Amino acid sequence: MKPCRVEFPGTDKSPVDLESGANLSEKLTIHNSPILFGCRIGICGTCAVEVVATDGPLPERTFDEAQFLEAMAPGQDSVRLACQIRINTNMKIRKTQV
Ligand code: FES
C-alpha cells in the first residue's frame, strides 16, 4: 500500500509519510508530532484534532470515539480522536480542544 501523507498546518512540524492501515497515534508518537496523547483508548480527549482528509474519506468513527465526541463536540464532524484513527488517506490535522 502507498504511504499516506500527514500534515500539521499551523506548526513548524514537517509532513510525515505514514504506513496505510497503521494506527495514527502509534505512528505520530514515533515521529514526535505536535499531537499529544493520553489514554489512547478514546476516553480522555487529549488527542482531539480537527482533520481534513485530502485523498478520500477517513474511516468511520469507532464506537468509543463516536460516543465521546457526541458528548464533547456535538455537530463538529471534522473533530476526531487521533488515537482512534486508522490511517487510510492523506490528511491535515490540527490540535483542538473538546
Ligand atoms: S488519547 Fe485519550 S482519547 Fe485519544
Total domains, the chain: 1
If you measure from the C-alpha of residue 90 to the centroid of ligand 1, how many angstroms do you get, rounded to a whole number? 21
Averaged confidence pLDDT in the chain: 95
CATH number of the CATH domain containing 73:
3.10.20.30
Q: What is the domain extent for residue 60?
A: 4-95
Cite the beta strand spans of the chain per DSSP E: 4-7, 16-18, 48-53, 79-81, 91-95
Answer whether 44 contacts ligand 1 (Cβ < 6 A): yes
Is 80 exceeded by the pLDDT of residue 80?
Answer: yes
Which of 23, 29, 33, 47 to mutate to test ligand 1, by most ligand atoms within 8 A of the CB atom?
47
Is 80 exceeded by the pLDDT of residue 1?
Answer: no
Answer whether 28 contacts ligand 1 (Cβ < 6 A): no
- The structure's pTM equals 0.94
Three-point CA angle 63, 69, 60, nearest 5°: 45
Interatomic CA distance for residues 65 and 80, integer angstroms? 7
pLDDT digits (tens, 9 = 90+) for 35-63: 999 999 999 999 999 999 999 999 999 99
